[in-house]
Amino acid sequence: MTPRVLLATGNGKKLTELRRIIDEYDMDVDVICLKDIEPYPEPDETEWTFAGNALIKARQGMIHSGLPSLADDSGICVDALGHMPGVRSSRWNGPEEEDIANLELVLRQVEDVPRGRRQAQFVSVMALVMPDGREFTTRGVMTGHLTTRPKGSHGFGYDPIFVPDDQVPDADGRLRTTAEMTAEEKDAISHRGRSVRAMLPILARQLGLPLPEGLSEEDLDLPGADHEGPETTLPASEWTASIPAIPRTRPATDPARPQPRPAEPSSGITPLEP
């Protein structure tokens, strides 16, 4: 019997992209989505990390469906904005989650940033939660820079203003935004493509399926993809517990206060579009 897996997302464009990448490897898996199961309230994304929010969505999907559940959390991290919007990417201009409004706000916030210092990274974390409580996450990163205006009509979110580093220039030698690329070109280098490809061998192992051809558990060396897990799971009774309050921090002048780790630099000054 073909195993079923829930893809716990209500974003139709993201669902299409995720399914397209999974189908690329011809896995014998029946991927269903939220509209195929009994509706349940969308969980609040209360964590401050992509991994935390991806796990929230995958856990809720598993609880309400009883199936192995995948979920993704992703966003754009702009160097000049202190690596924001980050987990707030889809709500950067407010809770309405409007792509154009979010994109335009980011462009206004960096309009005085020199063209050689507009580095950014797309980040995606894919989470898998199994019915027996095992949890896994994988991470994909795509580095690049922001344009000064939207270009292209494909993709979604911040695609029209993001130029990835890892691409082949077009016939005129110009670098393109991800919104100017075909779906296949984008999938080959995207943050989500990398996190999904890193997850597929894990999913195959958990479902007792052959490893997808071209991917290996022992050699997940996809550029920008990190493998995390398996992780110790919480008891099911704790999965739906409220997030504990964030403790009050010490004043900034307190010498005993732990200092944050410096942010890792991005790939340096990237080539800019003409």
* Number of domain units in the chain: 1
CA atoms within a 13 Å half-sphere pointing along the CA-CB vector of 143: 15
Name the catalytic one among 72, 73, 79, 187: 73
Q: Where are the alpha helices (DSSP H) in the chain?
A: 12-24, 50-65, 99-109, 183-189, 191-207, 236-239
28 marked as part of a ligand binding site: no
The question of whether 73 is a catalytic residue gets the answer: yes
What pLDDT, in 10s, does the model give residues 124-180?
Answer: 999 999 999 999 999 999 999 999 999 999 988 999 999 999 998 888 889 999 999
What pLDDT, in 10s, does the model give residues 34-70?
Answer: 999 999 998 999 999 999 999 999 999 999 999 999 9
Residue with tokens 């403790």: 247
Is residue 261 assigned to a domain? no
Is residue 190 assigned to a domain? yes
Is residue 115 assigned to a domain? yes
Q: Is the pLDDT of residue 211 over 80?
A: yes
CATH value at residue 95: 3.90.950.10
Residue-number span of the structural domain to which 206 is assigned: 4-239
Is residue 31 assigned to a domain? yes
Is residue 244 assigned to a domain? no
Is residue 249 assigned to a domain? no
159 marked as part of a ligand binding site: yes
User: Per the structure block, which two tokens stand in for 136?
Assistant: 């896994």
Is residue 254 assigned to a domain? no
Between the alpha carbon of residue 122 and those of residues 63, 128, 178, 232, the distances in Å are 29, 20, 11, 27
Is residue 19 assigned to a domain? yes
69 marked as part of a ligand binding site: no
